[in-house]
Structure 1
Amino acid sequence: QRQVKDVRTEAEATAMLRECARHHLQVCRFVQSVEEVAAPALTLQLLVSTFLLCMSAFTATQIPVGSPLLARVVIYMLTGASELLIYCKYCDDVISESGRVQQALYGSGWAARGGAFSSGVLIMMARAQRPLCLRAAHVLPVSLQTFTKVLNASYTVFTLMRQIKD
């Protein structure tokens, strides 16, 4: 793969940068359009998963140890958590990869080139400061951190339900 820092002429480097900028813009638009379609589903997924994990954990505490039903409830709970983890993991990958754009720009040797190339890199770096991510309800970034928050919220509600029952 050819890299900008290996290109000798200013014109070639600027042309490569323009192509990268076009591609980055296409990716940004794609993520935005996916979010438009997926945001309601992601929001529902987070809410349902929180409820499912909480209720499954609560149900599991009501079933005698050794019961075949207990194993089914635990498997159901783990399956629900795994389903959410898949969404969160891939959305987290989008965040991580988009963060690498700025690092790649910085490592392009832009300071030594000057001119239009350096200006273009600085503009792209400014655009790439905010990482791309899919958001539930167009507000909450879906990531591994979100997965942890869902687990914490589920556990909090589970604990509250246990206290009310006892």
Structure 2
Amino acid sequence: MEPAPPPSRCVAPHCALLRRAGYMRAAPRSRRHAAYRALVLLLAGAYLLQEAAAAARARGLRELARVLFLLLCHVTAAAKQLVLLRRADAVDALARSFDARRPPGARAAALERALARRARLLLRGYAGCAALTCALWLLFPVLQRARARPVRFPFWTGVSTAPLPVFAAVLLYSFYVTTLVGIANTSMDAFLATILYQCKTQLTILRSDLETLPERAARAARAEGEGYETALMRLFVDCYHHYHKVTETAASFQAIFGTAILIQFGIGGWILCMAAYQLASLSVLSIEFASMLLFIICILTELFLYCYCGNELTVESDRIVFSVYAMSWERTPPRFRRCLLLLMERARRPLRPAAGCVVPLSLDTFVKILKSSYTFYAVLHQTK
């Protein structure tokens, strides 16, 4: 079997990190990595059940909030993990989007390099914030035990953690699972956001190609000795195939991850609400306050990435029609102008990525989630 092609440059770091975390299938496939992925799924599932048991045994709203914000976060991570497991072939194909295109021009190559650079910075900053948050969660139980205070983990252990060996084992188990899930979850979010922004960048390249289509056709006709109309139609077909590839990738993204993102949006407001409720009871100078603040920043970043990138894709696709009209089409052949009308008719409906075909990925949705989170928090704050 021939090895699978590598992922696109802009998402290659995300795929590498997800494979090391055991969330994405290795390329080439190996039984050892498949066993590792099964172990990671088992650990994440067991930890999720332990958190659910702790939530069921919680006494009081404050203790429930302490368990629930992590439980809900792990539920959203599990939804995306299952998608990567069940739709591995489709995810691999999505990661290789646009690699089969012709060699890009200078401006297109510059835009793609800039996208790859921003994607790497986003991944490092976002996953680093998650890792730092989990490291602070590791310190808090240690400090509590050093002060001879009782330590209560936010998940059910089934054993007494008073003996030092048991405490150390439970602490390391919690740190490993939460760090693994945190880094993998943020990497998945950065991966999906980069796919959306990659579609937006390709539309920006396409708009530039469309606006300069007659001029490029004239240069190609002189350079290659072919007729102007022949060069014009050849370049138009290239642009049409490019646009079709972008719409196909956006539709594939919607079909693969739409339900998981809908779960993310449906639970995201409650996660923010529970985290804010927990934050309000902490001392500003405590380590737990710093860790909770970092956690809230991660959740806000997660929701904002989807909404911002989806909004940018919608806005850019809405400009395709204007770019077609902006080209110098007045002196082009009638056959070419009829083709332009067909393209404009197809591009009249902009791409609108949505969570589960229900909630649009837009900045307006992000604001609505924040408002609903504050409403939930206000209700909880009044009932404490």
C-alpha separation between the residues in 2 aligned to 1:31 and 1:111?
A: 32
Q: CA deviation at 1:53?
A: 0.9
Instruction: Summarize deviations over 1:75-108 as a string: whole Å, max 9, x none.
Output: 1111111122222232233223323322221112
Cα separation, 2, equivalents of 1:159 and 1:116: 62
Find the aligned partners of 1:162 and 1:29 in 2 and give their Cα distance: 46
Q: Higher mean Cα deviation, 99-108 or 115-124?
A: 99-108
Checking the alignment, whether the CA contact within 8 Å between 2:254 and 2:356 is kept in structure 1 is no
Relative contact order higher in (CA < 8 Å, ≥ 6 apart): 1
State the partner residue of 1:88.
Answer: 307
For residue 58 of structure 1, what is the aligned residue in structure 2? 277
1:67 aligns with 2:276: no
Between 17-26 and 109-118, the greater mean CA deviation after superposition = 109-118
Query: Are residues 144 and 11 of structure 1, via their aligned partners in 2, closer, same or farther at CA, if it must alter by over 3 Å?
Result: same
Instruction: Tell me the secondary structure at the aligned position of residue 133 of structure 1.
Output: coil
**2:334 alignment counterpart:** 115
Q: Matches of 2:263 and 2:352 in 1, distance apart?
A: 17
- CA distance, structure 1, for counterparts of residue 305 and residue 342 of structure 2: 34
* Greater alpha carbon shift after TM alignment, 93-102 vs 136-145: 93-102
Question: Counterparts of 1:7-156 in structure 2 under 5 Å?
Answer: 7-8=217-218, 9-156=228-375
Q: 2:379 aligns with which of 140, 148, 160?
A: 160
User: What CA distance in whole angstroms lies between the structure 2 residues aligned with 1:111 and 1:24?
Assistant: 23
Q: Which runs of 5+ in 1 are unaligned?
A: none
Aligned length: 165
Q: Which residue of 1 is the match for residue 18 of structure 2? A: none
Cα RMSD (Å): 2.0
Distance 1:18 1:151 in 2: 44
Question: Which SS does the other structure have where 1:110 is aligned?
Answer: coil
d(CA) in 2 for partners of 1:158, 1:5: 57
How far off is 1:46 after superposition? 1.1
Amino acid at match of 1:5: P
Alpha-carbon distance between aligned partners in 2 of 1:124 and 1:72, rounded to the nearest angstrom: 51
SS of residue in 1 equivalent to 2:348: coil
Residue segments in structure 2 that go unaligned for 5+ positions in a row: 1-104, 106-208, 219-227
SS at match of 1:62: coil
Q: Is the 8 A contact 2:214 2:332 kept in 1?
A: no
User: Once the 2 structures are TM-superposed, how far is the Cα of residue 66 of structure 1 from its aligned partner?
Assistant: 3.0
User: What do the CA deviations read for 1:6-30 (whole angstroms, capped 9, x no partner)?
Assistant: 1343332233222211221222122
1:135 Cα offset (Å): 1.0
Deviation per residue, 1:34-65 (Å, 9 max, x gap): 11001011111112221111111111122244
Q: Give, as a single letter, the amino acid of the residue that structure 2 aligns with 1:4.
A: L
Structure 2 CA distance for aligned equivalents of residues 41 and 48 of structure 1:
11
> 2:317·2:351 contact (CA, 8 Å) conserved in 1?
yes
Match of 1:5 among 203, 214, 228: 214
Amino acid across the alignment from 2:381: R
TM value normalised by structure 1: 0.86
1:112/1:159 Cα in 2 relative to 1: closer, same or farther (>3 Å)? farther
What TM-score does the superposition give when structure 2 sets the normalisation length? 0.40
How many angstroms does 1:71 deviate by? 2.0
